[in-house]
Amino acid sequence: MSSESAADLLADAAARLESVTETPRLDAEILLAHAMNLSRAQLLARLREEAPPGNFEELLNRRLDAEPIAYILGEWEFYSLTFEIEPPVLVPRPETEHLVEVVLEAIGDRPAHVLDVGAGSGCVSIAIARNAPNCSVVACDIRTDFLDLARRNAARHYVADRIAFRKGNLFDALAPDDGPFDLICSNPPYVAEPEWEGLPATITRYEAPECLLGGADGLDIVRRLVAQAQDHLVPGGRLALEIGMGQYETVRELLEQNGYEEISARRDLAGIDRIAMGKKPGP
């Protein structure tokens, strides 16, 4: 790629990216800023200047191959914090920020003990710990590489001393004295298997399927969490789960059948019932 103005580079890149992303111009700006070691705001202030492209073409080709930008950059922002991200961990998504919101609202300023099931990159656990200084967190995941990544992110954000990491499958990961918890949260796999082939290549070719697929109707892991969580909650403790579009009524029924009270949903910015919540009976 010859030396051109930033505006010319961006126009050409955005045109090439139209077939692989809904945000071609934004993607091009992020990648060019990264290649030039600039912030996006700095890049936009220099559009008419000659732009040494660095490794922009290499980065662009990776995006043209549908690789998520988070993997290309090696980091991604979530809840106003920047996290190290590497494949195939689930890339933090804006809708998951609502899970953090409901947890923080539920615990308020009081001391609280929180469990994050399926921690992945640690984004949920760490965002909670950073914004609720009186809470302690246990974060579990079945994959060692994800836990290693989450530990690095916890150290990056100075909350490693308040998060205990555990390896294992759901509640089997817990040590005998880890609970009980005031709140259990999870962003579990909830994609129905028949929907997999219709998902974007950005997801199906790069992210770990076990982080996304939840069985025939997407709710296999959700059922296990709902059925088992009360054994690990204090009386009056709460369960908060991220779920997919159209799943809330079924999840609400699951919560009711398992004896939860004060069942409710939090909608995301698209109006989808994204977080399902229930309370274990008690004060």
pLDDT at 1 over 50: no
Token reading at 85: 């991200």
> Could you tell me if 63 and 20 are in contact, meaning their C-beta atoms sit under 8 angstroms apart?
yes
Question: So what's the pLDDT on residue 49?
Answer: 87
Question: So what's the pLDDT on residue 3?
Answer: 66
User: Which value, in Å, is the radius of gyration of the alpha carbons in the chain?
Assistant: 21
Q: Which residue has the tokens 């709710």?
A: 219
Give the whole-angstrom CA distance, residue 144 versus residue 76. 21
Give the whole-angstrom CA distance, residue 231 versus residue 20. 45
* CATH class of the region 77-82+88-279: alpha beta
Q: Which residue has the tokens 């139209």?
A: 18
Please report, for the chain, the start and end positions of each structural domain, with discontinuous segments joined by +: 4-65, 77-82+88-279
Coil, strand, or helix at residue 12?
helix
- CA dihedral of 216, 120, 273, 280, whole degrees rounded to 10: 90
Give the whole-angstrom CA distance, residue 49 versus residue 67. 29
- Within 8 A by CB and 6+ apart from 23, the residues are none
Encode pLDDT of 97-138 as tens digits: 999 999 999 999 999 999 999 999 999 999 999 999 999 999
User: Which CATH code fits 4-65?
Assistant: 1.10.8
Taking phi over 0 as left and psi of -120 to 50 as alpha, with beta for the rest, 144 belongs to alpha
What percent of the chain lies above the pLDDT cut of 70?
Answer: 99
Token reading at 28: 């091009």
Instruction: Compute φ and ψ for 124, nearest 5 degrees.
Output: -70, -50
- CA dihedral of 143, 149, 155, 157, whole degrees rounded to 10: -110
Encode pLDDT of 13-25 as tens digits: 999 999 999 999 9
Average pLDDT value over all residues in the chain: 95
pTM over 0.85: yes
CA 258 from centre of chain: 27
Instruction: Compute φ and ψ for 107, nearest 5 degrees.
Output: -90, -25
What percent of the chain lies above the pLDDT cut of 90?
Answer: 94
DSSP string, 118-134: S-TTSHHHHHHHHH-TT
Reported as a pLDDT band with limits 50, 70 and 90, residue 51 is confident
